[in-house]
Amino acid sequence: MRILVTGATGQVGRHLVAQLHEAGHDVRALSRTPAKADLPTGVEVVAGELTDAATLGAAFEGVDAIHLITFGGDDDLTNGPEIIDLAARHGITRATVLGGWSPTSIESALESSAIRWTLLQPAEFMCNALEWADEIRSQGTVSMLATFPSAMVHEADIAAVAATALTHGGHEGRSYPITGPEALTPAERARIIAEATGQDITFVHLSEDAERARLRGYGYDEDYVEFGIQLATSPPEVSGVVLPTVEDVTGTPARTFAQWAREHAERFRTAP
């Protein structure tokens, strides 16, 4: 199969490109800046921008299946009908969609198309912990308001579910909520990162006002800051629910946060 991966240089996309390539598939990767993509040798990288369907013709040519993201930059895509119409006209018959908080124009367009597609609905990404890296390196702490457990998922496992759905039958029309194998609180994740790095890390529980200041420090606007407070104090019940999706779909157990932490330990480790 020739498979096009959009979002190919993202946290999930890089894993998906590598997994499909290693399995022997003909992989084409979409990138705004192909010269900077840094993807495996043998992967065809083509230029294109999902927000502008007019740039996608060459990328879609000769493709059997496609992995789609639903955002361009920081915003949801609004040109789903154009993208899906172009995919159908190029003979693409199968798709996976990396879904977000709510449906976008991509899902809506696919529902009225003849393309067979699978929706991926991952829990919190394990890589969100990278937001703690600067604080861990400089202060040896993780400071936040939230204390609820999250069944966060390794990005490679999201990719593995996508790869299976793209290359095997029986997944069309399915929606797959995807989690990791355990639900961990921020304090537990901090402890696991400490074990992976061999250094002391202390969890600091912030007040709401201190959390607002922390979120503003990332450059978030006030609407997002207040959304963060609401999420921290009233998390959705499903956030801590562990599901067997990864193993059910791929036949392989989901990766643990401890494995993720070992893989990224250098990002957190204080320089000697």
pLDDT tens, residue by residue, 234-272: 999 899 999 999 999 999 999 999 999 999 999 999 876
User: Among the listed ranges 70-74, 119-123, 199-203, 255-259, which one has the minimum average pLDDT value?
Assistant: 70-74
Residue 207, pLDDT above cutoff 90: yes
- The boundaries of the domain holding residue 12 are 2-122
Residue 176, pLDDT above cutoff 80: yes
Mean pLDDT of 102-107: 95
Provide the CATH number for the domain around residue 185.
Answer: 3.40.50.720
Mean pLDDT of 152-157: 98
Residue 193 forms part of a structural domain: yes
Percent of the chain at pLDDT above 70?
100
Q: Are residues 128 and 115 in the same domain?
A: no
Categorize the per-residue pLDDT at 25 as very low, low, confident or very high, splitting at 50, 70 and 90.
Answer: very high
Residue 246 forms part of a structural domain: no
> Residue 100 has what pLDDT?
83
Where do we find the tokens 């003979």?
A: 91
Residue 73, pLDDT above cutoff 90: no
Q: Are residues 94 and 129 in the same domain?
A: no
Number of domains within the chain: 2
Residue 159, pLDDT above cutoff 80: yes
Query: What average pLDDT is seen over the chain?
Result: 96
Mean pLDDT of 132-151: 97
Mean pLDDT of 107-129: 97
Percent of the chain at pLDDT above 90?
95
58-84 as b/e: b if 16+ CB within 10 A? ebbeebbbbbbbbbbeeebbebbbbbb
Q: Give one DSSP letter per residue of the chain, joined into a string.
A: -EEEESSTTSTTHHHHHHHHHHTT-EEEEEES-GGG----TT-EEEE-BTTBGGG-HHHHTT-SEEEEESEETTEE-S-HHHHHHHHHHTT--EEEEE--SS--HHHHHHHTSS-EEEEEEE-SBGGGGGGGHHHHHHHSEEEES----B--B-HHHHHHHHHHHHHSSS-TT-EEEE--SS-B-HHHHHHHHHHHHTS--EEEEPPHHHHHHHHHHTT--HHHHHHHHHHHHS--GGGG----HHHHHHSSPPPPHHHHHHHTHHHHPPP-
> Residue 256 has what pLDDT?
98
Residue 110, pLDDT above cutoff 90: yes
263 CB-near residues (< 8 Å, 6+ apart):
none
Q: Are residues 137 and 263 in the same domain?
A: yes
Q: Are residues 88 and 134 in the same domain?
A: no
Q: Which two tokens stand for residue 120?
A: 């991926």
Residue 47 forms part of a structural domain: yes
> Residue 126 has what pLDDT?
98
How many Cβ atoms are within 10 Å of 112's Cβ, its own excluded?
Answer: 9
Contact 104, 81 (CB under 8 A): no
